[in-house]
Amino acid sequence: MRRIAIVGAGLAGFSAGQELRRLGFDGDLTVIGAEPHRPYRRPPLSKEHLLGESDLSLRGADELGAAWRLGRAATGLDLERRAVLVGEAAIGFDGLVIATGLRAKSLPEGTALPGVHFLRGLDDARGLRREIEARPRTVVVGGGFIGSETAATLRGLGLEVTLISGRPVLRSALGAEVGAIAEAMHREHGVEVRTGRMAGVSGTGRVERVHLQDGGTVTADLVVAALGAEPETEWLRGTGLGDGDGVMVGADGLVAPGIAAAGDVARWPHPLHSGRTLRIEHYANAAEQGAHAARALLGGIGPYTPLPNFWSHLYGRRLQAVGFTGADCESRLVAQEPGHRFMAEYRHRGRLVGVAAAGFARAMPEYRQRIAQALAPVAETAEGPPDTGVVSGGPTSQRADERAG
């Protein structure tokens, strides 16, 4: 294997490239990215990077020894020729890592007015930062992590903020009880929270109102759409490798011979959830799974069975979680104290699979160990040793809204 192409210049693709070089791959390495930027940290985009410009670049890009093809997205994959298509160009490969991440879910038709923003990448954050200098009345649409973090950040700047969510805030990501705590935090800090779905926007030359499906309207000078995201697999059409829910990774870590996938776009069975296929849209997972994809590409290792972990910040309160915490789990508050301090456990079919907390940091290592111990026996039933490495991090800015933000 002398030529490896990585499609996706985010954390997962970058991590794959670094691991390839660490393992001794000295052939041609090409990194293809839709954005014009080299790999950077995305979690700050909905938090501190809205407050001011900061260096988000990931260190080590210059040492990767890669050919960077940035600013143009992959448009197709020719499996017969073993080539990634970028417009009219064809980039040949012997090995391929698919790490294209997510794209924003579409807004209702007719919402393409000035003043309506997504928060998907670095340029989006810069454009939004310029807008908020005028202190606009802001509507954030989407009550997941990205929407919640953005609303909290803008409210911290003193802006008038309305948060519109199709379901209770953070309920899909953390369950009803923890979601209620997060919603209370928003209200106590002056954010107007409305449950409803956006039908569209209107205005003369620029957004002025957000229309809800129930007939209500909200005045807005600025709209931030955080409606979630979906796997970026359109460029794989006709190959049978990708669909609307990502790219399926086998037990050997590969999608097809010589092709691996990593990060938000990758889907695989996880034993802690009874082998159900899933995607994990966390910053930590992108780093670890990118390295796993590189190892699989160069010779194969055991199944990928990580212990997910993430963190977030709302109004100065650090929220952290380990394992699985979605609404499909049974959640229970096991501790709650003034100041929005809490600890919640999550179970799947009676087995402890996750914990989320704010203000109980000392209890987290013990929970991490308990969940890891629960994972070990079921992971051992898969062929080969489990890969349970945990990398610290936070929810990626591309995390799907009603699973995270």
The closest alpha carbon to 165, from 140, 186, 199, 136, belongs to 140
Return the pLDDT at 307.
86
d(CA 275, CA 315) in angstroms, rounded, equals 37
Residue 187 and residue 169: Cα distance in Å, rounded? 11
Q: Does domain 3-103+230-297 have CATH number 3.50.50.60?
A: yes
Q: Provide the CATH topology of domain 309-380.
A: Enolase-like; domain 1 (3.30.390)
Would you write out the chain's pLDDT as a tens digit for each of its 405 residues?
A: 999 999 999 999 999 999 999 999 999 999 999 999 999 999 899 998 998 898 999 999 999 999 999 999 999 999 999 999 999 999 999 999 999 999 988 787 767 899 999 998 999 999 999 999 999 999 999 999 999 999 999 999 999 999 999 989 999 999 999 999 999 999 999 999 999 999 999 999 999 999 999 999 999 999 999 988 899 999 999 999 988 899 999 878 899 999 999 999 999 887 766 667 889 888 999 999 999 999 999 986 777 888 888 899 999 899 999 998 987 889 999 999 999 999 999 998 888 999 999 999 999 999 999 988 877 665 555 444 333 333 323 333 223 333 332
At residue 380, the pLDDT reads 54
Alpha helices (H) along 157-271: 171-188
The predicted pLDDT at position 125 comes to: 94
Q: Which two structure tokens, joined as six digits, stand for 90? A: 């064809």
Nearest to 216 by CA among 248, 189, 194: 194
What is the pLDDT at residue 274?
A: 65
pLDDT at 379: 55
Domain 3-103+230-297 and domain 114-227, same fold? Reply is yes
Beta strand spans in 71-197 (E): 76-78, 83-86, 89-92, 95-98, 102-104, 116-118, 138-141, 161-165, 192-195
Residues 257, 235 contacting (CB under 8 angstroms):
no
Element (H, E) at 45: none
- Distance in Å from the first CA to the final CA of the chain: 39
CA angle 206, 153, 133 (to 5 degrees): 45
Note the pLDDT of residue 99. Answer: 97
Return the domain boundaries, the chain: 3-103+230-297, 114-227, 309-380
Fold classification of 114-227 (topology level): FAD/NAD(P)-binding domain (3.50.50)
Which spans in 202-316 are helix H?
283-297
Ramachandran quadrant class, 183 (left: phi over 0; alpha: psi -120 to 50; beta: rest): alpha
pLDDT at 275: 64
User: pTM of this prediction?
Assistant: 0.89
- Residue pair 395/281 in contact (Cβ under 8 Å)? The answer is yes
